[in-house]
Structure 1
Amino acid sequence: MLHAQFRAMYSTPWMSDIVVGTMRWGIWDAKFTTAQYEAMIDKAMSLGMSTFDHADIYGNHTTEAEFGAALKLHPEWRSQIELVTKCGIIHVCDQKPAHYTKAYDFTKAHILQSAEDSLRNLQTDYLDVMLLHRPDLLMDPDEVAEAFELLYSSGKVRSFGVSNFTPSQIKLLQSTVPVGVHQLEISVKDVSAFDDGRLDQCTLDGIVPMAWSPLGGGNLPEGVASVLGSLASEFGVTPQAIALAWLLQHPAGILPVIGTTKAENLEAAQTALNIKLDRQQWYTIYQAATGIRLP
């Protein structure tokens, strides 16, 4: 049963149309200095990209703290941005010597501790959105609700959601708490969310869909690359902008999470907001992505 404290609290958060992903900013890839974190945050904000996507495990549990060090130097930024983070993965790394195998943990204790760690690392007193990162098959929805209630009532987390869940897993969690966000993989390389019920559920239940890896990690199939390239020439933009515009046009309100380490890629992504594909253009991309002609 939906817990009483949440009956009147359905918090669908406001986020920027394009979300900036931080997964590659730290030791997993770019190894940004504090000055580089500052520059990327500032650039994103100047483009209207105010939402930043984190996870506790990024950079082997170091990227949040590096971002937080930059944020501390600009306290005025906090009220101008939205911080999203994820929890629930037991990640094996040197920074967590007690972790000896990959696992998932949605216990009340783990969720609460993860929130406290993220708040401390990001040097903030609240998180705009906290997501359960990957489904925990041992999840007790009542226990999750207890954790969320404590975090919400204390003002430490304003909205909650999930990542990489199936519709039935979301429905189970919705029996005790509202789900405001679902971050899932959607791109021209993975279109399964369009017809497996996940985006339908987002539309029906007012859940904000965030698309991770919205460009499919590059190296697109030749047919897809050709279609995107042709449309890019027609619109005078990059193929990547066309791929993002294709997602943005879906009525579920998909928010792409751009995982770039280069400021110029943020600029290119912003151009997607001004592209309007017609139905035939949209379905040309869809058919190239699926490799199947429409019946």
Structure 2
Amino acid sequence: MTPLAQTDLVWGAWRARQNQHTREPSGFADLLARCLDLDIDWIDHADIYDDGAVEALHGEALAHLDAEQLKRLHVITKCGVRFPSPGQPGVRTVHYRSDAAYIQQQAEASLKRLGVEQIGLYLLHRPDYLMRADETARALEDLVCAGKVAAYGASNFSIHQLSRLQAASDLPIAAHQIEISVCESSALDDGRLDRAAQASMPLLAWSPLAGGRLFGGSDAFAPVRACLERVQQDMDAGGIDEIALAWLKNLPAHTIPILGTMKPERLERQANAYRQITLDRQDWYALLEAARGAPVP
């Protein structure tokens, strides 16, 4: 059974150091505690978020939690992306790595920064076009066998890249993290959704609110925004974000939104609404058509 089988929501820590409250360990711990109060016990990280500083912030925040909270908390983190930055000396251009030595090195570094003995879910952040699937799979399996990682998965892979990695591994790919929302629905047609449903593999939905673009700005989102507002009014929901998140619940694969808000009150509202709101099938399709700007075939 996948470690995310009973999980419906994840909190994403990507922007934690950009918020005045969560940028400090005590404030970050406050939000972790609020997540746990809401039965959100998986926290999404990556080794590149602020050059590892967000993982380190998580590790420092653990000192502010009690034993029961620490026991309940699980982490997801990712590796494989390289780009020029102060934390990646010698990197000249954006590229990806999936070789065994690098995966082992990054896992050890993440464990140390996060302050945990085991990473609950370890993801390859981006597909490496130079990936030697056998080598990559063995490296990930070795981490699982050593108890440093509970399960592994992928992020932003195509269905073919995912299949190649799975064919090389004796362990199931535990989850696939992709961008999916009412405004980014390509996974419905390119096989990623169907593959996840067929394999009972959870989809972790990053940017489930289209990176905030639903709430204003581009006129390209005006039609779907208007449709969201209509459904919101019909259902007496608290905001169009609640409707956009509920849209993901109708998918046949186990889809888990990664909530990125740093505001406890918004996190609570979104989590409660997600668990209460179920969209009518016709509203679901109306939103899809509004977002795509064309009728379904």
Shorter chain as normaliser: what TM range? over 0.9
Residue 14 of structure 1: CA displacement?
3.7
Residue 60 of structure 1: CA displacement?
1.9
1:197 to 1:146, Cα distance in 2 relative to 1, 3 A: same
What is the one-letter code of the residue matched to 2:13?
T
Q: Which of residues 14, 25, 41 in structure 1 aligns to 2:16?
A: 25
What is the one-letter code of the residue matched to 1:46?
D
Name the residue aligned to 2:107: 115
Name the residue aligned to 2:119: 127
What is the one-letter code of the residue matched to 2:234?
E
Name the residue aligned to 1:236: 236
Q: Distance in 1 between matches of 2:241 and 2:259?
A: 11
Name the residue aligned to 1:268: 269
Name the residue aligned to 1:156: 148
Name the residue aligned to 1:250: 251
Name the residue aligned to 1:218: 212
2:52 touches 2:113 (CA, 8 Å); kept in 1?
A: no
Residue 211 of structure 2 aligns to a residue whose secondary structure is coil
Q: Which runs of 4+ in 1 moved over 6 A?
A: 28-31
Residue 78 of structure 1: CA displacement?
2.7
Name the residue aligned to 1:3: none
TM-score (norm 2): 0.92
Q: Deviations over 1:87-142 (max 9, x none)?
A: 00113211222222211000000101111011000000001000000000110111
Map 1:46-85 to 2 at 5 A.
46-74=37-65, 76=67, 77-85=69-77
2:22 touches 2:31 (CA, 8 Å); kept in 1?
A: no
1:12 touches 1:206 (CA, 8 Å); kept in 2?
A: no
Q: Distance in 1 between matches of 2:252 and 2:137?
A: 29
Q: Distance in 1 between matches of 2:295 and 2:21?
A: 40
* Stretch moving more, 241-250 or 87-96: 87-96
Q: Distance in 2 between matches of 1:110 and 1:27?
A: 28
Is residue 105 from structure 1 mapped to residue 97 from structure 2 by the alignment? yes
Name the residue aligned to 1:37: 28
Residue 268 of structure 1: CA displacement?
2.1
Q: Deviations over 1:186-225 (max 9, x none)?
A: 0122111111111001011221101100000123311111
1:183 touches 1:209 (CA, 8 Å); kept in 2?
A: yes
Segments of structure 2 that go 5 or more residues without pairing to the other structure are: 215-220
Q: Distance in 2 between matches of 1:27 and 1:95?
A: 18
2:48 touches 2:81 (CA, 8 Å); kept in 1?
A: yes
Residue 183 of structure 1 aligns to a residue whose secondary structure is strand
Q: Distance in 2 between matches of 1:43 and 1:13?
A: 20
What is the one-letter code of the residue matched to 1:206?
S
Is residue 205 from structure 1 mapped to residue 199 from structure 2 by the alignment? yes
1:15 touches 1:51 (CA, 8 Å); kept in 2?
A: no
Q: Deviations over 1:32-75 (max 9, x none)?
A: 11121011111111111111100000012211001110013325
Residue 13 of structure 1: CA displacement?
3.6
Name the residue aligned to 1:284: 286
1:119 touches 1:127 (CA, 8 Å); kept in 2?
A: yes
2:22 touches 2:262 (CA, 8 Å); kept in 1?
A: no
What is the one-letter code of the residue matched to 1:119?
L
2:5 touches 2:202 (CA, 8 Å); kept in 1?
A: no
2:19 touches 2:262 (CA, 8 Å); kept in 1?
A: no
Q: Distance in 1 between matches of 2:275 and 2:162?
A: 29
TM-score (norm 1): 0.92
Segments of structure 1 that go 5 or more residues without pairing to the other structure are: 1-9
Residue 289 of structure 1: CA displacement?
1.2
Q: Distance in 1 between matches of 2:20 and 2:103?
A: 27
1:15 touches 1:82 (CA, 8 Å); kept in 2?
A: no
Q: Distance in 2 between matches of 1:116 and 1:134?
A: 19
Residue 43 of structure 1 aligns to a residue whose secondary structure is helix
Q: How many residues align?
A: 286
Superposition RMSD in Å: 1.7
Name the residue aligned to 2:218: none
